[in-house]
């Protein structure tokens, strides 16, 4: 059987605006109305669910609504692809044998891919993107503290985290640079942003502060490129007594 998951979640609501830089969270980007399927559903039910949602991946959940696998379009296409295969041979590749196996599957439990990668609504878009790229998946089921399915986030959803105006990016870079840990004085700070490309001119007290500042600005969401002229007053990276370069 298929089911629609549409649990209200406070994590899905927009977070209040603050002056503190932050990464966007999965709860702001995910789809909360999610179609899921149970492992005892058959091939026809899975095909109908994929066509109805327009997605290429469908979460498979247990009776408690906890993700246990993913069934995707290629899993179902194996039944079609197998009709083009020649007769079975001892020299077949592992992939060809897998196509034959999936082509003979009837239940979703035989088709689905396990284990499934999940994310929470509190995780950042950056963390979700890293997980998706590492595991080469296009959709991530979003779970609550009980590991129940509460949403789905796609790669397209995650791209929204990069869609920011130049003014928003510039404002966040300024907030970051003026943070206490970097020791930047407002009078020495100059920031501009055009089409995501940031120009940063600043002076810090210590060289290590300058290095941390540059690294931190590169992580601001929406920054495509960074050109910086960050100077420092004291090179604290040198060991006592070491000659200066």
Task: Name the residue among 169, 168, 123 with its Cα closest to residue 143.
Answer: 123
When mean pLDDT is compared across 145-154, 187-196, 234-243, the lowest value belongs to 234-243
My answer on whether 84 and 154 are in the same domain is: yes
My answer on whether 9 and 105 are in the same domain is: yes
Q: Tokens at residue 239, please?
A: 């060991």
Q: In DSSP terms, which residues pair with 204 in a beta bridge?
A: 232
Structural domains in the chain (count): 2
What is the bridge-based pairing of β-strands 190-194 and 197-206?
antiparallel
Q: Of 127, 162, 197, which closes a domain?
A: 162
Cα(50)–Cα(36) distance, integer angstroms = 10
pLDDT over 90 at 227, yes or no:
yes
Structural domain of 225: 166-234
My answer on whether 109 and 215 are in the same domain is: no
My answer on whether 149 and 203 are in the same domain is: no
Which of the four pLDDT bands, split at 50, 70 and 90, describes residue 20?
Answer: very low
Q: Of 109, 142, 162, which closes a domain?
A: 162
Q: Record the pTM.
A: 0.69
């Amino acid at each position: 059987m298929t089911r629609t998951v549409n649990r209200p979640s406070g994590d899905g609501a927009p977070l209040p605006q603050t002056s503190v830089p932050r990464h966007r969270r999965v709860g702001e980007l995910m789809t909360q109305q999610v179609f899921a399927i149970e492992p005892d559903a058959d091939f026809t039910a899975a095909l109908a669910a994929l066509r109805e949602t327009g997605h290429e991946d469908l979460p498979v959940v247990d009776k408690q609504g906890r993700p246990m696998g993913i069934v995707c379009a290629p899993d179902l296409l194996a039944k079609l692809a197998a009709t083009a295969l020649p007769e079975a041979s001892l020299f077949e590749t592992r992939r060809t044998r897998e196509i034959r196996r999936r082509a003979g599957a009837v239940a979703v439990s035989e088709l689905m891919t396990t284990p499934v990668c999940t994310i929470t609504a509190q995780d950042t878009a950056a963390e979700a993107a890293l997980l998706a790229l590492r595991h080469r998946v296009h959709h991530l089921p979003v779970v609550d503290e009980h590991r129940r399915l509460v949403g789905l986030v796609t790669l397209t959803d995650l791209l929204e985290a990069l869609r920011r105006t130049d003014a928003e990016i510039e404002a966040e870079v300024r907030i970051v640079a003026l943070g206490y840990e970097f020791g930047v004085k407002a009078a020495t700070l100059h920031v501009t942003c055009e089409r995501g490309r940031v120009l940063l001119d600043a002076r810090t007290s210590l060289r290590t502060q300058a290095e941390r500042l540059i690294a931190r600005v590169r992580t601001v969401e929406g920054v495509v490129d960074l050109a910086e002229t960050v100077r420092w007053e004291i090179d604290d990276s040198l060991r006592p007594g070491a000659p200066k370069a």
